[in-house]
Structure 1
Amino acid sequence: MLAPKRIYILLLEAGTENEGIHTKKMGDIDKVLMFESEDDATRFSLMLEAQDYPETSVVAFPSDEIEAFCREAGYECELVEEGRLEIPPEGNVEELDYSKGSSEPASATPETESEIPTPELDDIRRRLEGLL
């Protein structure tokens, strides 16, 4: 059996109680971008920051864990193949689902961060730590 593919995602406040996962909102759909390349994920993160988006961390995960999380959370996921330049939307939302340093989310619209409920996040973290 092959090991799951390692991908990179963007997190806000990684490793804290207020950790959030970056999603790209397309209409009513929240999509998690899964980058094959750490460099491509870092580039995308820097482009977001250049648009005054909150700082994100690039974090590696097994692809099957993120795909399972997306199914459970009602998100879609998109694989960004190595070398493909993913460009953030021209405009960011004025308010994010994610609220820095707070466990209470703010309301949001287009390109957004989605806060993961703490019990669900703890479950995901335990499963991921079990893989290490």
Structure 2
Amino acid sequence: MRVYVLLFNPGTENEGIHTLKLKDEDRNVVLMFESEEDATRYGLLLEAQDFLSPNVEEIESEEVEEFCEEANYDCVIVPEGTLAIPPEAVLEATDWQAEGEVPPAEEEAEPPSDMSGTELDAIRQRLEKLL
């Protein structure tokens, strides 16, 4: 059976799939939509909550089930016509980055808030003169 899932950065090595974490569970759940329209609507609701824009991708349900088994995730079929609504709280940190986003470890360090840019430039110039 063909289903629709929400992917971020599809086709890249930084690809991610949308999952939910249920309140009383410690496992992630992948939603498999029977209808492309329902999946698109859910993606738009995610965007309205300031989440990144997902791509709706058609895939064989068996592939999703295999992925979920390997990743220790659960999967759920969302029947056509079901108005699935994303939870209000969204996960701030993901296992993947938005396309073009720099991972936190690679970001340039912010200067301490008690030093101005001018003070830092002066220190940098003195250090360069030592070299």
TM-score, with length taken from structure 2: 0.72
Distance, in Å, in 2 between the alignment partners of 1:37 and 1:28 is 27
Q: Find the partner of 2:20 among 18, 21, 24.
A: 24
**Higher CA-based Rg:** 2
Distance, in Å, in 2 between the alignment partners of 1:14 and 1:70 is 17
Q: Find the partner of 1:70 among 68, 86, 102.
A: 68
CA contact (8 A) 1:45 1:55 kept: yes
CA contact (8 A) 2:16 2:95 kept: no
TM-score, with length taken from structure 1: 0.71
Give the unaligned 5+ runs of structure 2: 106-131
Q: For 1:1-132, list aligned pairs within 5 A.
A: 5-26=1-22, 27-101=25-99
**Percent same amino acid at aligned positions?**
53
Moved over 3 A (4+): 101-106
Give the unaligned 5+ runs of structure 1: 107-132
- What RMSD in Å do the two structures reach over aligned CA positions? 1.9
Distance, in Å, in 2 between the alignment partners of 1:105 and 1:85 is 35
Alignment deviations for residues 47-86 of structure 1 (CA, whole Å, 9 cap, x no partner): 0000000110000001111111111110000000000110
Distance, in Å, in 1 between the alignment partners of 2:95 and 2:13 is 15
Distance, in Å, in 2 between the alignment partners of 1:77 and 1:105 is 30
The change in CA–CA distance for 1:44 and 1:105 in structure 2 (over 3 A counts) is farther
CA contact (8 A) 1:18 1:103 kept: no
Structure 2 counterpart of 1:75, one-letter code: Y
Alignment deviations for residues 88-131 of structure 1 (CA, whole Å, 9 cap, x no partner): 0012122223222369699xxxxxxxxxxxxxxxxxxxxxxxxx
Distance, in Å, in 1 between the alignment partners of 2:29 and 2:67 is 12
| Greater RCO (CA < 8 Å, at least 6 residues apart) | 1
What secondary structure sits across from 1:41 in the alignment? helix
Figure out how many residues of one structure are paired with residues of the other and give that number: 102
Structure 2 match to 1:123: none
